[in-house]
Structure 1
Amino acid sequence: MELTHRILDTGAVHMHVAEQGEGFPVVFCHGFPHTWFMWHRQLSAVAAAGFRGLAPDLRGYGRTDAPVAVEAYTNEAVIGDLLALLDDIGAERAVFVGLDFGAQLVWELSLRNPERVAGVVVLNNPFAPRPPRPPSAFWTKAAERHFLHLSYFQTPGIADAELAADPRNFLARVYYSLSADYHYLDTWKNPPGLGYLDVLPQAPALPWPWLSEAEFDTLVDDFTRTGFTGGLNWYRNLDRNWDLTAAYADAKIEVPTYFLYGENDPDMEGFSGRDPLATLRANVTDLRQVREVPGAGHLVQLERTDAVNDFLIAALNDVVSRGSAVVPQ
């Protein structure tokens, strides 16, 4: 049950993977600005329940390579890393868990390679069909009216320098702002032309009820070493991802799906359409469970760890009991 670390050569990058437990594989995919460590409480839980948890630093993060070329950060490219991980452990399929960019990644993986997906557990970022126009067509218009990080992050070098100048300050403020302790969409009250730190609230001193100072220090140490360019390059590929998914414009998610969201999640409120749950239900053919977690925001796996772990273990057991999972030999 010991947590271990290794570096895997995917053929494109050297990817750091944290692992814990034995049994059917469960792959955790993080978002921005996160690392594998955002899932450390879930790794121990799935290991105790008889599963093999694997949490990679996705490309551009932590101890995984950060290619220089912006176009190296498409979902299609990172899906190649995840498939290389499955091949490396000899698994035909796995359950994939995703939040934030990690959610978008597992949704697209489910469209591109459903034969490798035994099921998905997605937190806070519901599936929606490919829009008729590229994402920038929507955020550019909004950014003319108010500050919007999606637009601000697009120009290489600007946000990179601002955030890297004081990683501890930025991470505390962005984690706090995304939690249920703050209303993240209040950042939209600020005019365009500002930096991210100009619009984010000051964070209270750590520890917080849902995050210890030692946990926070682990995340700060990684980003102090790496900076934020790798993660920001994921934002700079949103239009490119749209271009690369034309063949899936009308496709539905057909793998077993379990969706959990925080009551106060800003993505559900402001970035997922007018009725995200109705859209999810209309476009996921095997949606097995949807659950709201009261009093939780975007970092729900930290804010309400027990609720997330209970939901996750129940979903994994359901996948196994219905025969969707076969333990790799």
Structure 2
Amino acid sequence: MSEWTHRFSRINGIDVHYVEQGSGPLVVLLHGFPHLWFSWRHQIGPIADAGFRVVAPDMRGMGRTSAPRDFRQYDVPSITGDLLGLLDHLGAEKAIFSGLDFGMFSAYDLAHLHPERVAALIGLQNPFINWTEKPPLTLAAEAGREHFHHIHYFSEPGVADRDLDAAPRRFLTKVFHTLSGAGDYLRTWDHPPGATYIDAMEEPPPLPWPWLTETELEFYVENYSASGFTGGLNWYRVGDLRWRQRKAFEGRKITVPYFFIGSENDIDLAVFHGRDPLERFGQFYADIRGVRVLEGVGHMMQMERPGAVNEVMLEFLDTLR
């Protein structure tokens, strides 16, 4: 931690906070929701020690990066502009991008629109952008009429914001457990429409867990208590707009070198990417370099099994030297 350097810069019209360590080829680590740069705390040092310059930003709307209130400012051009602006600010022609959740989808967008700025991709958990016939919020609303559905709940302005801002510690503790290998997200679907996400999730065991301490949780609680959750929720609320914008490259394959690390207990791989997602990489990528699936962990893999994730990431990175 002593080697981490915190920086604040004006990029693409917003104030961006990022953490940097090391020198060498640039590796950018992109988090999702409800995460922060801190979700890469176990990866930054080992990757930097292996001879890379590592940068982990707080993504737009989260942590200490600006959080525009208008959800339309989280669309594909805005987020891609953030990443291009970050590369320019760092003086880098291109970078290796790795990410999880919304962070990885942002890297996929960048690889479609500006492949010349992407040296390679290392996807965690989220294998590709889904090409659906209906907009995602429409699909979520249809599911939300049958049972609780977190995307539909998040998409209604003011509802989730109020609930989560009132109980950040309770929400973060519950959602981190629910999405881990020890939790079961699908049990939230047993709850009726109108339930809150906090109420729909099971009670987690008391901290510390094998992969999360009280002090580490407090870092997330402190940041989201300060920023509120609206910025992160806007990533969901812009879903239909992004769906329309991505029509421009629907059906096109990403051409940069691609690696993937998944886990056997991840809800995204099990439910949200259709049947047999690992068998369909050829539909989305022209240059698949490696695919690995880790046992015994869930969606929070880079925190749940950091040693195993680091080993595979470093193996993949070494092939790119």
Q: Same fold (TM over 0.5)?
A: yes
- TM-score of Structure 1 vs Structure 2, range by shorter chain: over 0.9
Question: Matches of 1:229 and 1:282 in 2, distance apart?
Answer: 34
- Moved segments of 4+, more than 3 Å: none
Question: Matches of 2:89 and 2:308 in 1, distance apart?
Answer: 31
Within 5 Å, which residues of 2 pair with 1:280-319?
A: 280-319=281-320
TM-score w.r.t. length of structure 2: 0.97
Indicate the residue corresponding to 1:47 in structure 2.
48
Indicate the residue corresponding to 1:94 in structure 2.
95
Q: Residue 165 in 1 paired to residue 166 in 2? A: yes
Q: CA deviation at 1:106?
A: 1.0
Give SS of 2:17's match.
strand
Indicate the residue corresponding to 1:64 in structure 2.
65
Question: Matches of 1:136 and 1:280 in 2, distance apart?
Answer: 25
Question: Matches of 1:78 and 1:106 in 2, distance apart?
Answer: 9
TM-score w.r.t. length of structure 1: 0.95
Question: Matches of 2:199 and 2:137 in 1, distance apart?
Answer: 23
C-alpha contact 1:129 1:251 (8 A) present in aligned 2: no
Question: Matches of 1:133 and 1:145 in 2, distance apart?
Answer: 18
How many aligned positions are there?
Answer: 320
C-alpha contact 2:105 2:129 (8 A) present in aligned 1: no
Within 5 Å, which residues of 2 pair with 1:194-213?
A: 194-213=195-214
Question: Matches of 2:225 and 2:129 in 1, distance apart?
Answer: 34
Within 5 Å, which residues of 2 pair with 1:22-33?
A: 22-33=23-34
C-alpha contact 1:21 1:51 (8 A) present in aligned 2: yes
Question: Matches of 1:109 and 1:39 in 2, distance apart?
Answer: 20
Give SS of 2:280's match.
helix
Indicate the residue corresponding to 1:219 in structure 2.
220
Kindly provide the amino acid, as one letter, of the partner of residue 59 in structure 1: R
1:184-223 deviation digits (Å, cap 9, x = unpaired): 1111111111111110111111110011221111111101
Q: Which deviates the most, 279-288 or 165-174?
A: 279-288
Question: Matches of 2:89 and 2:206 in 1, distance apart?
Answer: 42
Question: Matches of 1:67 and 1:138 in 2, distance apart?
Answer: 26
Question: Matches of 1:178 and 1:77 in 2, distance apart?
Answer: 28
The unaligned stretches of length 5 or more in structure 2 are none
1:37-61 deviation digits (Å, cap 9, x = unpaired): 0011111111110101100001111
Distance 1:148 1:306, change over 3 A: same
C-alpha contact 2:33 2:101 (8 A) present in aligned 1: yes
Give SS of 1:245's match.
helix
Kindly provide the amino acid, as one letter, of the partner of residue 230 in structure 2: T
Within 5 Å, which residues of 2 pair with 1:315-326?
A: 315-320=316-321
1:37-93 deviation digits (Å, cap 9, x = unpaired): 001111111111010110000111111111121111113211111111111111111
Q: CA deviation at 1:131?
A: 2.2
1:135-166 deviation digits (Å, cap 9, x = unpaired): 12322221111110111111111100101111
Q: CA deviation at 1:129?
A: 5.0
Question: Matches of 1:58 and 1:196 in 2, distance apart?
Answer: 23
Equivalent pairs: percent with the same residue? 45
Q: Report the aligned-residue RMSD.
A: 1.2
Indicate the residue corresponding to 1:326 in structure 2.
none
Question: Matches of 2:12 and 2:282 in 1, distance apart?
Answer: 37
C-alpha contact 1:20 1:52 (8 A) present in aligned 2: yes
Indicate the residue corresponding to 1:324 in structure 2.
none
Question: Matches of 2:137 and 2:60 in 1, distance apart?
Answer: 23
Give SS of 1:311's match.
helix
Question: Matches of 1:282 and 1:233 in 2, distance apart?
Answer: 29
Indicate the residue corresponding to 1:148 in structure 2.
149
Question: Matches of 2:161 and 2:251 in 1, distance apart?
Answer: 35
Question: Matches of 2:199 and 2:263 in 1, distance apart?
Answer: 26
Q: CA deviation at 1:128?
A: 4.0
Give SS of 1:153's match.
helix
Kindly provide the amino acid, as one letter, of the partner of residue 234 in structure 1: W
Indicate the residue corresponding to 1:21 in structure 2.
22
